[in-house]
Structure 1
Amino acid sequence: MTIDLITVVIYALAMLAIGWFAMHRAKTREDYLVAGRNLGPSMYAATLSTVILGGASTLGTVRLGYVYGLSGLWFCTMMGLGIMVISLFLSKHLLNLKLFTVTELLERRYNPAARFSSSLIMVVYALMVAVVSIVATATILNGIFGIGFWMGVLLGGGIVVIYSTLGGMWSITLTDIVQFIIMTVGIMFLLMPLSINQAGGWDAMVSALPETHLSMINIGWPLLIGYFLNYFLGIMIGQDIWQRVFTARSVGVAKYAGAAAGLYCVLYGICGALIGMAGRVFIPELDNVNDAFAKIVQASLPDGIRGLVVAAALAALMSTASAAMMAAASTIAQDILPAVRKQPSSLNTNRIATLVAGLVTLALSLVLDDVFKPLTVAYNLLVGCMMVPLVGAIYWKRSSTTAALVSMGLSALVTLFFLW
C-alpha cells in the first residue's frame, strides 16, 4: 500500500502546484470566473467532462452496476445527453449573452428580485453537489487506506479548497486537464478491463450474473424517469455547467467540443456499470453497497496500479467539487453580495467567496455520508424551482416577473414537501 499512497500524495501535491501556478494567470475578474473566455476545443471538452463526472458518477455508477447491472449506465448517460443538448442547441445563445452566472439572465429578463431569489436556490444546489464529491473522496480514502472519514474530508476537500481559491477557473481548468487524463486511463483503461479479467473474462462474467443484470431497464422506470427529470434537465440549467460554457472561445468550440464531452460521459457511465457488474461476480455479497468501488479496486488491482486508479477516482471527484464550489462562490459574489452591498464584487471578493464556500462545503461534508441523497436534494430544487423561469426567460416573450417569482416560490415549497 506504500506505493499506492505515494502515488496519491504525488497527485495531491501536483494539484496544489497547479493551483499556485494558475494564481498568476487569474489577474482579472473575468480570468478568475470564466478563464478569460478563451478555452480551445481540447481544454474545453476535458474540463466540461470532468465537471459532470464526480462522486455520484464514479462511485454511484459502480454501485448501480453492482446492484442493477448494465442499466446502471443511465445515471451518467442522462447527464451526457443533457450536455449534448445544451451544447448543440443552447450554447450559442448563452455565449452571446456574456454572462457570469445563470441568475444574471433572470435579472435581464425580469428584475433584480428574480435574480436574488434564484441565487439562493443555485447556491444550495452547488454546495450540495460539492458536498457529494467531498464525501465520496473521504469514502475512497477510508476504504482504500483506512484514513478516518473526517480526516479524509479535511485532506481531500482541503486540497480542492486551496487550489480553487488560489486561481479560480484557471486553477480548475488546468487541474481538470490533468484529472481528465488520469481518470480516463485509470477508470476506462485499467480498472474496467482488469475488473472484468478478475471476474474470469467477459463470457464468464455474463454467465455468472443474473439475466436481469444484462437488461437496460432493470433499474426500473421510476428511477429512469427520475434521472431524466433531475439530471438530464438539471445539467442544462446548473451554474457549474453554464460557467464552463462561458469559458469557450467560440460558438463552434462550445457546440462540438461540448457534444464530444457529452459522449465521453456516456462512455464513462458504461465503464462504471461494467466495473460494478464484474465486482458482483468476485464479491457477490457486500455488507454495504456504498463500498462497492473501494472493494472492487482492492480486490482486482495490484499494488502501484491501485494507487493510479485511486488517483483517477479522486481526480473525478475533485474536479466536480471544485466546479461546484466555484459555482456557489460565483453566485454569492456576483449575485447576492452586490444586491446587499449595492456595488459590484472585485477579484479579491470572488477569491474570499470561494474560500468561504469551500469551508462551508467541508463543514457540511462532515455531517453527511451518502453520495446520492444530497445530490437528489440539489437537483430536485434546481429543476423544480428554476427550469420554468429560465425557459420562460429564454423562449417566452410574455413571461412576467411576478410569474417567475411565484413559480420559484411555490415550486420550492412543493419540491420540499415531496422530498419530505
Structure 2
Amino acid sequence: MTDTTIMTLIIVAYLVIVAVIGLAGTKLITGSDDFMLAGRRLGPFMVIAGLTATHIGGGAVMGVSEDSYVFGVSGVAYSAGTALGLILLGVLSAKKLRSLSLRTITDYLALRYNSKLVRGLASGLSIVAVTGIVAAQVNAAGGALAILGIDPTVGAVVAVTLFIAYTVFAGMWGVALTDAVQVLIVVIGVPIAAIAGLRAAGGFEGLRTFVESSSDIVTADYFSPVGMGVMAMLGIITPVVMYDLIGQDFYQRLFSARSAAIARGSAIVAGLLLLVFAIFPVIGGMSARALFSDLENSSSALPTLITEVLPIGLAAVIVAAILAAVMSTADSLLIAGSTHITNDFYREIMGRDPDGDSKRTLVVARVWTLILGVAALVFALSVPGIITVLALAYTMYASGVFVPVIGGLLWPRATRAGALAAIIAGSVGGLAGVFGLVDYGSVPEVVVGGGVSLIAFVVVSLLTKPADEKVGEELRQELAAEA
C-alpha cells in the first residue's frame, strides 16, 4: 500500500468522524434559533474555538502559507489583520451587542436606525460577502486535496458536498462541535510541521541561502516584514480588520455565547491566539518554497510540506484537520448567509414568523444554506486565489457597512439618512475600484470606499434629524449600561 493510499484512507476516515460529530448536533436542534445560534448556550471554549476556526482554515493557514511561499515574511499580513480585528471586536462591540440578544448584525442596524431599508441593503451586501468568503475556503480545500492527486476542481466539489451535508442538518451546533476538534489539532499540528519543515530546509540560514541562489526572488524583500509592499499589505489587513468588526459570521458566534461577558472575553482571547499562531504558516510557506520551489499550485504549499517532512500517519491527520478547519470556516459562513435570509428578509422584512421559531422557518434556513453553498462553488471555480477572493469579498461588504455599524455605536448623532448614504456611497466607491471603473492607484479600494462612506455618513447625518429619537435614545441608554 502506497503512502498516498494510506494518507487518503486516513483523511477519509477523519472526515467521516468529523461529519458524524457534526451531525450529532442535529439532536440538539428543535427550531431555527437552535440552528442559527445553538440556543445561545455556548461556553467560552466553544466560542473561542469557533472564532479561531473561522479564520484558521482557508485564510490564516492555507492562504497565509500560500502568500508566504510567494512573498516571504510579509505573507503574515492576513493573520495580522485577523488578530487585530478580533481583539478590537472584543474591546469595542462584542459585549454591547451580545447584551441586546440579537440574531444578526443587521438586527442592530435596523434597531439603531429604525429602518428596514438599512437592514435590507446591509444584509444583501453581507450575503454577497459571505458567499465570496466561502468560495475562498472552497479554493483552499481544493488545494489541500491536490496533494492526493485529486484535481483541484474535483476537490472543491467534494469539499462543498461534505460541508453542506452536515451544515444543512446540524446548523450552529454541528459547526461548534466540529470546530472544537479541528482547532485543537491545527494549532498543535501546524507548528510541528512548520518547525520540521524549517529544519529540513536547513533552518533560517538554509532559507537565506536558497533565496540568495534563486534568480526569481529578491532576498531583501523575501525576508522583509513589508516585502510585498506596504500598500499591498494594507489592502489585505484593512478589509480584514473592518470585516471582523462587522462580519455576521463573527457576530453569530458571539450571539451564540451564553453571556455578554463570554462573548467579549472570547473575541480577545481568539485574537491573541491567532497572533501567536500567525508565524507558523509563514515559516511553513517559506520552508516549502525552499524545499519544493517548482509547485504548480502554491495553495498546496503547506499540505505538501506536511506530507513530506512528517510521518505519514501524523501528516495525514494534520492535513485532514486543516481541510476540516477550512470546511468549518465555510459552514459557519453558510449559516451566516442563511441567517440573514431567514431572519432579516423572511422574518423581519417579509413579516413571516416574526416572533416564533417555527419548523417552516427552519426549513427556509436549511434550503438557503444549500443554495448559498452551490453559489459559492460556482464563484470559487470562476475566481482563483484564496487571498484574492477573500480581499474581494471583504471589500464589497466592509466599504459600505463598516461606518454605519461602528459609527452608530460611537456617534449618537448619526441618522437613518446618514446610514443609508454611507452604505450606498461606500459600496459604490469600493466596487468601482474593485472592478477597475476608477483607478485609485496604490490605495486599497476598501480605504477609499470606507472614506467615501464616512464622509457621506457625517455630512448627511448633520443635515438630517434622527428618524425616531425615542428609539435611538433607548438603544443608546441600553448600550451605555452594558459598556
Q: Same fold (TM over 0.5)?
A: yes
Do 2:127 and 2:340's aligned partners in 1 also have CA atoms closer than 8 Å?
Answer: yes
Match of 1:201 among 203, 210, 218: 203
Deviation at 1:150, TM superposition (A): 3.1
2:123 match: secondary structure:
helix
Do 1:43 and 1:177's aligned partners in 2 also have CA atoms closer than 8 Å?
Answer: yes
Do 2:99 and 2:259's aligned partners in 1 also have CA atoms closer than 8 Å?
Answer: no
Distance 1:11 1:256, change over 3 A: same
Do 1:132 and 1:372's aligned partners in 2 also have CA atoms closer than 8 Å?
Answer: yes
TM-score normalised per structure 1: 0.94
Indicate the structure whose relative CO is greater, using CA pairs within 8 Å and at least 6 residues apart. 1
Query: What RMSD over aligned residues (CA atoms) do the two structures have, in Å?
Result: 1.9
Deviation at 1:343, TM superposition (A): 1.4
2:382 and 2:235 map into 1 onto residues whose CA distance is 26
Deviation at 1:240, TM superposition (A): 0.5
1:211 and 1:402 map into 2 onto residues whose CA distance is 50
Query: Which residue does the alignment assign to 2:14?
Result: 11
Give CA-to-partner distance per residue, 1:289-329, whole Å, 9 cap, x none: 34423443343334223212211220221111111111111
Query: Which residue does the alignment assign to 1:282?
Result: 291
Distance 1:224 1:365, change over 3 A: closer
Do 2:15 and 2:324's aligned partners in 1 also have CA atoms closer than 8 Å?
Answer: no
Distance 1:413 1:89, change over 3 A: closer
**Number of aligned residue pairs:** 418
Whether 1:146 aligns to 2:149 is: yes
1:339 and 1:45 map into 2 onto residues whose CA distance is 30
Distance 1:392 1:19, change over 3 A: same
Whether 1:350 aligns to 2:365 is: yes
Give CA-to-partner distance per residue, 1:242-276, whole Å, 9 cap, x none: 11111221233222232121112122321010111
Match of 2:125 among 121, 133, 140: 121
Query: Which residue does the alignment assign to 1:183?
Result: 186
Do 1:23 and 1:166's aligned partners in 2 also have CA atoms closer than 8 Å?
Answer: yes
Give CA-to-partner distance per residue, 1:11-59, whole Å, 9 cap, x none: 2111221232100101133221111212212222111100122213222
* More moved, 356-365 vs 231-240: 356-365
Do 2:97 and 2:108's aligned partners in 1 also have CA atoms closer than 8 Å?
Answer: no
Instruction: Flag structure 1 segments of 5+ consecutive residues without an equivalent.
Output: none
Query: Which residue does the alignment assign to 1:308?
Result: 317
1:184 and 1:402 map into 2 onto residues whose CA distance is 45
Query: Which residue does the alignment assign to 2:92?
Result: 89
Residue pairs, 1:8-407, within 5 angstroms: 8-110=11-113, 111-141=115-145, 143-189=146-192, 191-209=193-211, 210-338=219-347, 341-344=350-353, 346-407=361-422
Deviation at 1:341, TM superposition (A): 3.3
| Percent identical residues | 28
TM-score normalised per structure 2: 0.82
* More moved, 368-377 vs 382-391: 368-377
Do 1:65 and 1:273's aligned partners in 2 also have CA atoms closer than 8 Å?
Answer: yes
1:249 match: secondary structure:
coil
Do 1:4 and 1:305's aligned partners in 2 also have CA atoms closer than 8 Å?
Answer: no
1:148 and 1:204 map into 2 onto residues whose CA distance is 32
Deviation at 1:203, TM superposition (A): 4.2
Deviation at 1:200, TM superposition (A): 2.1
Deviation at 1:287, TM superposition (A): 4.4
Deviation at 1:351, TM superposition (A): 2.2
